Structure 1
């Protein structure tokens, strides 16, 4: 039986909503939707979210190079292009499968939410 590791970033939502920042199951890591409100700038929010994702992956023994799937959720699709330089910096050589979806987020201050799946094999 493969062990399951629950990873927390210590954020308040994790306890309130009963979820983990990431779950590692065998060679897979599933990182929950990650946001930031540290800045109003969507690109800065994306960078902060990806840094949180990288830290969660590292805690589980993964790296951003292991990311095979990423999903970007934005309330305003027009904001996505401003994130491209940040995404290239984090994923330029990794080039995971990706989806961008326009949808409302739980807090209007959040301009992007990012979730990721990683595999080490």
Structure 2
């Protein structure tokens, strides 16, 4: 049986809500929904979130090239197109399976949340 490894970004939510930034199980890495409120702009938030995801993947021994599935969650679907150039920069050659869903997020300042799954086989 493969060892389960928990990765933390050190954020307070992880302790309070009892979750990990990422979980590595064998050849898989599951990255939790990731946000950033460093900027009010959706594209800047997407870029920051993907940077956090890349760091979590790196800590688990993965790269963005290993991402096979990504989910984009936005309170306002009309913000998604603004994020496309950022997504192309991070995933242009990777082209993971992807879903965009319009839904409420926990903080109104959050304009996008991104979740990723990576596999290295």
Equivalent residues in 2 for 1:1-121 (5 A)?
1-121=1-121
2:105 counterpart SS class: coil
List gaps (5 residues or longer) in structure 1. Answer: none
- The Cα shift of 1:37 comes to 0.4
Cα deviation digits, residues 19-77 of structure 1 (max 9, x gap): 00000000000000000000001000000000000000000000000000000000000
In structure 2, distance between residues paired with 1:6 and 1:43: 28
CA RMSD of aligned residues (A): 0.3
- The Cα shift of 1:83 comes to 0.2
- The Cα shift of 1:12 comes to 1.1
In structure 1, distance between residues paired with 2:26 and 2:100: 27
Q: TM-score, normalised by structure 2?
A: 1.00
Q: TM-score, normalised by structure 1?
A: 1.00
In structure 1, distance between residues paired with 2:113 and 2:11: 15
In structure 2, distance between residues paired with 1:36 and 1:88: 19
